[in-house]
Amino acid sequence: MSPQWISVIGTSFFCFSFKYLGQSVPASWLSHPRIQRINTYIPIVLLTGLVTVQSFTEKTKLIIDHRAAGIAVAFTALLLKLPFPIVVISAAVTSALVYRYA
């Protein structure tokens, strides 16, 4: 058996095990108020990490380019409590303009 197949089978086993263990957690543990508060922040943290990695890195280097301008505009639009489509469009337009003219 090749190393690739061993890694695929091993990864599949671990994914199934984690999913099974997640389903086996008692509901009383998940209904604890502290766990509920933590669970509300998990998607926010994951999305923030994804945006940060995609915006400020290129392979193994830290970079600041046109995407930083788009994020700054999006952050400002969010602080002004603008509607989400406006936030996304303004960030995209800013990033595109900086990319085009820089």
pLDDT in tens, the chain (102 residues): 899 999 999 999 999 999 999 888 888 888 889 999 998 999 999 999 998 998 899 888 999 989 999 999 999 999 999 999 999 999 999 999 999 998
State how many domains the chain has. 2
Q: How far apart are CA 92 and CA 87, in angstroms?
A: 9
On whether both 14 and 40 belong to a single domain, the answer is no
On whether both 23 and 39 belong to a single domain, the answer is no
On whether both 4 and 53 belong to a single domain, the answer is no
Q: How far apart are CA 94 and CA 96, in angstroms?
A: 5
Q: Residue 49 sits in which domain range?
A: 32-101
On whether both 18 and 68 belong to a single domain, the answer is no
Q: What is the pLDDT of residue 60?
A: 87
Q: What is the pLDDT of residue 102?
A: 81
- Token pair of 25 as six digits: 């957690």
On whether both 37 and 24 belong to a single domain, the answer is no
On whether both 38 and 49 belong to a single domain, the answer is yes
Q: How many residues does the chain have?
A: 102
